[in-house]
Amino acid sequence: MISRKELHFGDFTVFGFTRDPNFINQRLSVQFEITPQIIDIGSFGQFFFYTSYGDVAESEEALVLKLGFLRSKTKSALNARQLLEQKLVSPHSIDSDGFSGNGLVVALSKTEPVFSAFQTLLGMPQLHYSILDDGIICSDIFRCIVSLIPHRELNDKILPQHFLFQNVYGPSTYIRNITRLLPGYYLKWFNGRIETNLRRSLDVVADNLKYIHDDKKALNLLNDSFEQIVGDYITQIESRGQGLVNQLSGGVDSTLLQSFINPKLYHRPNRSISYVIQVPSFEYEVDYARQASQLLKTDHTFVNYTSQDYPGLLTRVIDLLAQPPNHETTPSLLAIAEFIRSENWSERYFFTGHGSDTLFGFSDASKLKALEMIQKIPFADTWLKGLGLILSPAKRLSQSLLKGSEIIASRNNPDAFVARSNNLLTYDVDWGLVQRSFGDSIIRETLANRRNFPLQYSKSDHYLDKVNFIELLTFTYDLSVKNQQLALTHRMEQVFPFFDEDLIKLALTIHPDIRYIKGFKYKHLMRRLLERRTNAPVAHKSKGVSTVNEEFVIWMRTGPLRPLIDDIQRPGFMSKLDFDHMIQTPNYFLLSLLTFDLFNKRVIIGNSE
């Protein structure tokens, strides 16, 4: 029987080790209303383990957990029993070269205080953990760990990250003493001691000559890879007796996925879904989804919500995640999840095309390529600036030229705020305000840390890789993880084919000069692949982002978000002058202050009324 608390948390896994039997009785059993499996390790203490949805196998010596989708070297699906019997995983070691996919594996010992864990590169199933005096607590769901630790304290070291990027990357989290395992990493815990090491890399090509430079070859290989991966996911889903839906926005990526899903479903129901923000500027998004659904013959559902619904969605997102969202679209995913559960849909798995942009090119690739070419011209910064000033009546063009001049002039200064690797995904940041709040040295250190974070995964010096890998490993990955965490709270799982290790590995064998852009057409490989499969013009139609930024600012200024804005408490690191200016003149940057304020009140202080 499913308990009230289990419904409250949705699907989750929690395990760990303790020397205090009261911890299991008083916290796990009472707070979660679950009865975890207990593994007695004699005088050392006890392992505890519970999962509502994971694949589990046991032997006399070990317990193995598998979350997500894994396959062998021969591309056959792997379950927990096979991982155990083929000796790919054990409490003391994990043969991470023996499988691929998108998942998390854990092996607990039944005879000694030791366990091992491994997360695939860009794996969606997470491992959060907190070290206690008498053991360790681990969970795939961040909110579970937050609920179980004795004291809940803000990790103030991450505040510059939040206000610059609206997300926290790396092992640190918003809560002090809660750490997350990084993607591609292996972890071993042995009687209180933890060791971690990186097992995966984004550098899959040894030298330039081994890259794929031919478009046709790249397209054929990508087609075969998508066929295999999507087919494998659907086979595994159906073997679990579950159904699937595609989140079809009508863009290239979700439409391409639908083209690979359709042949695998044969005559079975073919459902798709998307959200609709009921404002005029979002109508184009509705049209795209409708056209894609008609083209690929799906039974499409639009989930509508209004601006008046947004404040409630936002606060519920923060309650469910126990941390701020890193994008204003995250509440839209909650709207879908709540709709699906209220309508009692039977499908559990929801495919998404998220992640494609950072692997295969986004709109800024054209600007980056232009700057790369222009900066080779002598005195390029000077004549760009002059041209920008001459064309000042054409405001948008003038601003682009002046910004390009600044970027080229500062190309030898890695700390320059205008550098693309620094201002990437820093939407409307008030650089002066964040410098006054945290100090110039802290801001420069924060920017340098983000620039350097991908270096552990790749040493590529290609100008497009440098920028795209920053976005891939920080913002894009974090957004996907939070969306997955939200889905699990509603007993759903998102499926991310673009984050599958086999597809990532193939994509990275294609030279960056054709993977991201050709000429000045970004994401051209995905567009051409979609055109090949559908023979429809939708492949080359421009599509905007699934946001309503201008309306969002209006909601904060005079609309339904205004009561939440007026209720914001000034944080101690911000001066009253800066705070008053932000509140009185809202722009997109104000979102970072709003989500922090809600998080602080509802999670840290614990007032979720």
The structure's pTM equals 0.94
Tokens of 150: 């004795």
pLDDT of residue 6: 42
CA 248 to chain centre: 18
pLDDT of residue 161: 95
Report the chain's C-alpha Rg in angstroms. Answer: 24
Reported as a single tens digit per residue, the pLDDT across 377-392 is: 988 889 888 888 888 7
Asked whether 514 and 527 are in contact (CB, 8 A), the reply is no
Reported as a single tens digit per residue, the pLDDT across 4-15 is: 444 467 999 999
Nearest CA among 53, 50, 55, 122 for reference residue 82: 55
- CA atoms of 185 and 120, how far apart (whole Å): 7
Give the H/E segment covering residue 471: helix 463-471
- 308: helix, strand or coil: helix
Asked whether 505 and 204 are in contact (CB, 8 A), the reply is yes
- CA atoms of 391 and 405, how far apart (whole Å): 14
Asked whether 64 and 56 are in contact (CB, 8 A), the reply is yes
pLDDT of residue 271: 95
Tokens of 267: 């005559």
pLDDT of residue 397: 81
Asked whether 335 and 309 are in contact (CB, 8 A), the reply is yes
pLDDT of residue 9: 79
pLDDT of residue 372: 87
pLDDT means per 10 residues, the chain with 609 residues, are 52 94 77 88 93 97 98 96 98 97 98 97 97 92 92 94 92 96 97 94 87 95 97 95 94 95 84 93 89 94 96 96 94 96 95 95 86 88 87 80 85 84 79 93 94 96 94 95 96 97 97 93 93 82 64 91 96 95 91 96 76
pLDDT of residue 3: 40
- CA atoms of 477 and 498, how far apart (whole Å): 11
pLDDT of residue 267: 66
- 135: helix, strand or coil: strand
- CA atoms of 408 and 414, how far apart (whole Å): 12
pLDDT of residue 81: 98
Q: What are the backbone angles phi and psi of residue 304, rounded to the nearest 5°?
A: -95, 140
3-state secondary structure string across 396-464:
HHHHHHHHHHHHHHCCCCCCCCCCHHHHCCCCCCCHHHHHHHHCHHHHHHHHHHHHHHHHHCCCCCCHH
pLDDT of residue 443: 94
Other CB atoms closer than 10 Å to residue 315's CB: what's the count? 17
- CA atoms of 233 and 497, how far apart (whole Å): 8
Edge-to-edge order in the sheet of strand 114-119: 55-58, 62-72, 99-109, 114-119, 185-190, 193-198
